[in-house]
Structure 1
Amino acid sequence: MSQQYCTSTFIRRTGGTTQAVFGWSQRAAVPLSSPMQLAILECFVQAQTLASGYQIYQEWQTQPVGIELSTLGENLLLKIMQNEIIYLTQGFPSYLQPEQQVNLTDKLPLFSPYPAVNLPEFQATFQQLYELGLIVPAVGQINWGDVRRWAPVCAITGFSRGTPIDRYYQKQFLQTVGDKIKGNILEIGGVAKDREFYDLNLAQITTYRCMNIEAGAGVDFVGDAHDPNMVMADSVDAILIFNVLEHCYDPSCVIDNIHQWLKPGGWCLALVPTAQRLHDRPADYWRLLPDGLTYLFRHYAQCNLYTYGNTLTVLATFLGVAMEELTLQELATQHPDYPVIACVAAQK
C-alpha cells in the first residue's frame, strides 16, 4: 500500500507575501514564493498519495479559483490541516473559536492556475515541503520502526553506542566560545575526563581548577556552588558550569555566586540539557529551557544564548542513540522549539 500524506500548516498572506507560519512557535516563517508550492499544499487536502496528488494537480491546473482570496482581506490566515482549508477570520485566536472560522474546502482550488510541471518536478517540490514539515504522514501512517519501544536503546545516554548527541553539541558550543576560556579558570561539577574532552587552548589558560561536591580524579577542591564563600570574589576569569544547574536546588543562587566570583569582564559559560532522561546524581531538579536560562543571567552585563537540536535529535537523545548514527546534516539542522541543549555565554 502506498504511503499516505496530508498537508499540515498555516499559511499567511499579507500584501503580496505568502508564508508558512507556525502557531505558538519560535520557528521563523517559511516564504512560499513558488506557485507550485501552494498548489501542492492544497492538492494534499484531497490527495493521499503522491500519485493522486499529481493527478489532482493536473486536474486543477487550469481550473478557475473557487473564491478570490483577495476578497477576504489584506491579511489572511489559512489553516490547512485534517483535509480541510479553514479561513481563520481573526488570526490565530480563531483557532479555538469555531464561530470565527470559514471552511473553504469546497472552494478548491484557491491558488490556480498552476505552472505546468512533470512528475519529477512535482516529486522534488513535494519532498521539499515534506522536509519543511508542511506535508506529513497521514494519521495512522507513521512508520515507527525501532522507535516503537518501551525502553531506550542505550540507558546511559548513548555512551554504549558512541558519542552522546549532547556531547557533540557541547563541542560545537565550546568551539564557538573557546576564546573566552582564558586566564584563571574554574569549572563547577567537572572531572578530569571532561577537561580532556573539551580540547581547550592551553596556551590561553593560566590556572584550571575544578570544584565538585564529591572528591575524585581531577577535582581540586570539594565544595557546593550554593555557598558564596567557596571562592574569593572577583578572582576568576572564566567559570564553566556544564550539565550542573539541573542538579542545583537553587540555580539562581548559584548563578549569583558565579557573578560574585568572576572578575569584572569575566565570563560564565553554562550548558543545561533540555531533552535528556532523568539522572539521579546527586538529584535532578529542573529542565531549564532557553527563556528560563537567560532569565537567570539577567543581572549580567551581557548574555548570549545558543541552542542546538531539532525534532530528530531530541527523539534520538531520549532513545540513547549516538551521534555517529545520524548524518552531519541531521545533527546540524536547528529547530528553535526542539533544543537538545541550551547554552549561555554571559559576561560580568
Structure 2
Amino acid sequence: MAVDMSGASEALRAFVAEAPAAREPHVAFLRQAAAALAPGARVLDVGAGEAPYRELFAGTDYRTSDWSGTTHTPDVAVDVVAPADDLPLEDDSLDAVVCTQVLEHTPEPWRVLEEFARVIRPGGTVILSAPLTWYLHELPHDYYRFTAYGLAHLLHRAGFVDVDVQPMNDSVSTVAELLRHLRWIIGSPEDGHEGSRGTAGVLLAELAGVVDQAAWLDSQWLMPISFSAVARVPGGE
C-alpha cells in the first residue's frame, strides 16, 4: 500500500524505509487518528521508544512514556518513565493514548488497556496497533501476537466502546516483508557459511519483490503484519 510521505521528515522516511510494509500503514493510520483529535489535545504515546511518529501529532500536546528497562535511546528524553500498566497520572487526565507495537511486549496486556481506560477522559480515545505476524524481537520481552478478535475482546473487557479494529496490510505484503527480513532473522554466526547467508539474503530480497507483485490480488487481508484499533472511553457526549 503506497502511502503519501510528502511533508515527512528525513528521520521518519528512514524509519519507514526499514520495514515499509509494516510502517507505511502506521503513517496513514496515525495521520488519520491525529486529524480526528481536537487542537491541543493531551496525548500520551505509551511505549514510545524513540517516538518515530512524534511529528504526526504536531497539532496536539504530545508527550511520551516508556518503562525504565527500555532498550531505546531517544534523542528527546521521555516525559513519563513508568510501566504501561502503572502510569503516574490522574484519572481522566488525557484526551488520547497512542500505543503502537507495544502490547506484545507486556506480560499482561489486559491490565495495560485497563490503565489506559483509567487515564483517558470520558469520550477520549485510545489509538493503538499490535502485531499478528512478526518475528521475535526485543527479547526476552516478547509475549504475544494478536488477532482482530483478541484485540477487540481486550478493549471491550477494559471498558472501551466503539471499538474499530482493522488489518493494516494485505497477506501477500506480509510474506514479502518477512522474506526481506529473513536475511537478518537467520543470524550471522561465524561458522563458515557467511557468504552463503549473504547470497541467500539477496535472493530472498529479490523473491520478495516478485511476491509483492501479487499483493493487489488479496481480497481478504487475513494475515496482516499488524492490526490497528481505535476505541473510546464511554461518556463525554
Q: Give the TM-score, by structure 1 length.
A: 0.48
1:81-230 equivalent positions in 2, closer than 5 A: 162-182=18-38, 183-196=41-54, 199-203=55-59, 205=60, 207-214=61-68, 216-217=73-74, 218=76, 219-227=78-86, 229-230=87-88
User: 1:24-79 CA deviation, whole Å, 9 max, x = no partner?
Assistant: xxxxxxxxxxxxxxxxxxxxxxxxxxxxxxxxxxxxxxxxxxxxxxxxxxxxxxxx
Q: Determine which structure has greater relative contact order: mean sequence separation of CA pairs < 8 Å that are 6+ residues apart, divided by chain length.
A: 2
Structure 2 runs not aligned, ≥5 long:
1-13, 182-204
CA distance in 2, matches of 1:160, 1:243: 14
Q: Following TM superposition, by how much is the alpha carbon of 1:335 offset from its aligned partner in structure 2, in angstroms?
A: 2.4
User: 1:80-119 CA deviation, whole Å, 9 max, x = no partner?
Assistant: xxxxxxxxxxxxxxxxxxxxxxxxxxxxxxxxxxxxxxxx
Letter of the structure 2 residue corresponding to residue 251 of structure 1: P
* SS of the residue 2:113 aligns to: helix
Contact 1:276 1:317 in 2 (8 A): no
Q: Following TM superposition, by how much is the alpha carbon of 1:193 offset from its aligned partner in structure 2, in angstroms?
A: 4.5
Q: Following TM superposition, by how much is the alpha carbon of 1:189 offset from its aligned partner in structure 2, in angstroms?
A: 0.7
Q: Following TM superposition, by how much is the alpha carbon of 1:293 offset from its aligned partner in structure 2, in angstroms?
A: 0.4
Structure 1 runs not aligned, ≥5 long:
1-157
User: 1:265-304 CA deviation, whole Å, 9 max, x = no partner?
Assistant: 1100010011111113451000011100011111212111
Structure 1 residues 296, 159: CA separation in 2 closer, same or farther (over 3 Å shift)?
same
CA distance in 2, matches of 1:346, 1:328: 34
CA distance in 2, matches of 1:258, 1:188: 9
1:256 aligns with 2:110: no
Aligned residues: CA RMSD: 2.9
Contact 1:223 1:230 in 2 (8 A): yes
Seq. identity, %: 23
The match for 1:128 is none
| The one of 218, 232, 237 aligned to 1:347 | 232
Q: Following TM superposition, by how much is the alpha carbon of 1:316 offset from its aligned partner in structure 2, in angstroms?
A: 1.6
CA distance in 2, matches of 1:305, 1:328: 26
Report the count of equivalent residues. 185
Structure 1 residues 285, 333: CA separation in 2 closer, same or farther (over 3 Å shift)?
same
* SS of the residue 2:117 aligns to: helix
Structure with greater proportional strand content: 1
Which has the higher Rg, Structure 1 or Structure 2?
A: 1
| The one of 231, 254, 258 aligned to 2:89 | 231
